[in-house]
C-alpha cells in the first residue's frame, strides 16, 4: 500500500534533526507499489529515505522520498544448524537483532543498537565491533526503477566493502531495496576481539548471545549520543584506508595511533575518531554544531542547526585533520 505526503517536514524523519522539507514523500510496502510509482517514467528526482539515520539534508528536497514500511520477518529455512531469514526493508535493524537473539540465532548480535532499517543495512554494509552486515547477508531483493523489474542480487554480486556496496555506485538511483535474506547460525560463534567487548561480556557472566547484545548496547550507549537528545547520524566520517607506508610514517611520530587491517593487505585502516581527537577537535563546537565529547567521529546538532551549518563545520574538522596529519577523511553520511 502507498501512503503519500506532500510538502512534508523532515525534522522527525532525520536523526540529525535538521529542519528541512520535502516536496513529496511516499511510504511503500512492496515492489508492486514501486512499479505503480515508476510506470510512465516515474519521478524526475527521487531517493530512498529509510530510517533517516545516515543522511544530512543541506536543503529542502524538491523530489520524491521513498520510505519502506513493510516490516515482516520470515524464516525461509531452518535445518537446525543455520536459518535463512527474509527481512522486509522497513524492519528496524535493532528489532531484527532482538528477534535473532531471542531465538538463539548467532551472526548479528555485535550489530546491536545500530540505528536504521534492514533495507539500508546492505547499502553501506553497516558494521561494528568486528562484524559487518555482509557477514550475514545472503542476498538482496530489489526493484529496478529503470527496468521496472524485481531482481535478486546474491551477496557476491553486491560488492561489499568497508561501508561500501554496489548500491552506492552502479545501482545508485536505479534500485530500491525491498528485502534482504540473512543466514544466521544455531552454533555459538562469539566475536569478542574488538575493544572493550570481551571485558564487558565477561562482566555479564560470559559469552551468551544475550550478554553480548547487552554488552554492545551498553558500550554504544556510553559512547554514542542518543539522537532523541542530540541530533546526529552516528559516525559522520569513514575511517581512512591509507597505504601502509603512510601509516608507518605516522606511527613513527605517534606510536599509540590505532591501526586496523584493511581488505587490501598493502593498506591500513586508521581511526578517524582518533585523528580528529588528536587534532584537538573532540568536544569542539562552533555555533549550533559540535564534535561529540565521547566519540570524535560523531558530529552533533546542538539544537536548531541547519544542514548547511553541519556541512560547513564538517569541512573544518576535515581541514584540521588534514593540517595535522596530512590525511583526508571522507564523509560516511549521505549528503543531500
Active-site residues, by number, are 163, 235, 332
Tell me if 277 contacts ligand EPU by CB under 6 A: yes
Q: Which of 106, 238, 300, 325 binds ligand EPU (CB under 6 A)?
A: 238
Rounded to the nearest 5 percent, the helix, strand and coil shares of the chain are 30, 30, 40
Q: Does 52 bind ligand EPU (CB under 6 A)?
A: no
Q: Does 297 bind ligand EPU (CB under 6 A)?
A: yes
C-alpha 105/C-alpha 80 separation (Å) is 10
CB of 98 to ligand EPU, least distance (A): 18
Q: Is residue 213 part of the contact set for ligand EPU (CB under 6 A)?
A: no
Residues in contact with ligand EPU, counted by CB under 6 A, come to a total of: 19
- Near ligand EPU by CB under 6 A, which window of 56-64, 140-148, 169-177, 269-277? 269-277
Q: Which residues pair with 56 in a beta bridge?
A: 335
Pick the stretch among 30-38, 42-50, 293-301, 307-315 that binds ligand EPU (CB under 6 A): 293-301
**Residue 144, Cβ neighbours under 10 Å: how many?**
16
| 234 contacts ligand EPU (rule: CB under 6 A) | yes
Residue 143 found at the interface with ligand EPU (CB under 6 A): no
Contact segment (CB under 6 A) with ligand EPU among 64-72, 183-191, 267-275, 321-329 equals: 267-275
Q: Does 195 bind ligand EPU (CB under 6 A)?
A: yes
- Is 274 a binding residue for ligand EPU by CB under 6 A? The answer is yes
Angle at 19 between CA 239 and CA 232, to 5 degrees: 25
**What are the cell numbers at 190?**
562469539
Q: What is the DSSP string of 192-258?
A: --STTHHHHHHHTTS--HHHHHHHHHHHHHHHS--TTTSEEEEESBPPPEEEHHHHHHHHHH-TT--
Residue 235 binds to ligand EPU (criterion: CB under 6 A): yes
Q: Is 76 exposed, middle or buried (0-12, 13-18, 19+ CB in 10 A)?
A: exposed
Number of helical (H) and strand (E) elements in the chain, helices listed first? 7, 20
DSSP code of 125?
T
Residue 140 is a binding residue for ligand EPU (CB under 6 A): no
Minimal distance, residue 93 CB to ligand EPU, in Å: 12
- Rounded CA separation 300/289 (Å): 6
* CB of 170 vs ligand EPU, minimal distance in Å: 23
The rounded Cα 323 to chain-centroid distance in angstroms is 28
The least CB distance from residue 80 to ligand EPU, in Å, is 31
Interface with ligand EPU by CB under 6 A: which residues?
128-129, 194-195, 224, 234-235, 238-239, 258, 271, 273-274, 277, 282, 295-297, 332
Amino acid at each position: 500500500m502507498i501512503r503519500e505526503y506532500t510538502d512534508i517536514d523532515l525534522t522527525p524523519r532525520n536523526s540529525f534533526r535538521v529542519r528541512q522539507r520535502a516536496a513529496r514523500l511516499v511510504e511503500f510496502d512492496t515492489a508492486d507499489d514501486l512499479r505503480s510509482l515508476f510506470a510512465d517514467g516515474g519521478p524526475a528526482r527521487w531517493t530512498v529515505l529509510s530510517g533517516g539515520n545516515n543522511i544530512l539534508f543541506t536543503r529542502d528536497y524538491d523530489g520524491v522520498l521513498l520510505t519502506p514500511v513493510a516490516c515482516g520477518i520470515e524464516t525461509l529455512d531452518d535445518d537446525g544448524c543455520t536459518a535463512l531469514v527474509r527481512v522486509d526493508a522497513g524492519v528496524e535493524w535493532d528489532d531484527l537483532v532482538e528477534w535473532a537473539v531471542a531465538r538463539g540465532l548467532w551472526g548479528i548480535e555485535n550489530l546491536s543498537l545500530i540505528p536504521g532499517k534492514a533495507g539500508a543495512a546492505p547499502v553501506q554494509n553497516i558494521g561494528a565491533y568486528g562484524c559487518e552486515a555482509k557477514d550475514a547477508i545472503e542476498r538482496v531483493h530489489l526493484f529496478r526503477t529503470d527496468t521496472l523489474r524485481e531482481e535478486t542480487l546474491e551477496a557476491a554480486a553486491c560488492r561489499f566493502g568497508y561501508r561500501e556496496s554496489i548500491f552506492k555506485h552502479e545501482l545508485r538511483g536505479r534500485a530500491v531495496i525491498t528485502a534482504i535474506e540473512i543466514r544466521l547460525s544455531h552454533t555459538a560463534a562469539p566475536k569478542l576481539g574488538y575493544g572493550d567487548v570481551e571485558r564487558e561480556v565477561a562482566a555479564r557472566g560470559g559469552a551468551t548471545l544475550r550478554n553480548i547484545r547487552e554488552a554492545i548496547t551498553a558500550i554504544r550507549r556510553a559512547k554514542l549520543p542518543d539522537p532523541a537528545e542530540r541530533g546526529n547520524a552516528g559516525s559522520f566520517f569513514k575511517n581512512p584506508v591509507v597505504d601502509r607506508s603512510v601509516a608507518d610514517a605516522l606511527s613513527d611520530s605517534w606510536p599509540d595511533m590505532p591501526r586496523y587491517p584493511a581488505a587490501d593487505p598493502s593498506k591500513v585502516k586508521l581511526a578517524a575518531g582518533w585523528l580528529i581527537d588528536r587534532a584537538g577537535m573532540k568536544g569542539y563546537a562552533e555555533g549550533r554544531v559540535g564534535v561529540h565529547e565521547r566519540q570524535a567521529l560523531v558530529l552533533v546538532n546542538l539544537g536548531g542547526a541547519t544542514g548547511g551549518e553541519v556541512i560547513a563545520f564538517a569541512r573544518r574538522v576535515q581541514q584540521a585533520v588534514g593540517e595535522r596529519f596530512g590525511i583526508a577523511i571522507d564523509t560516511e553520511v549521505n549528503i543531500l
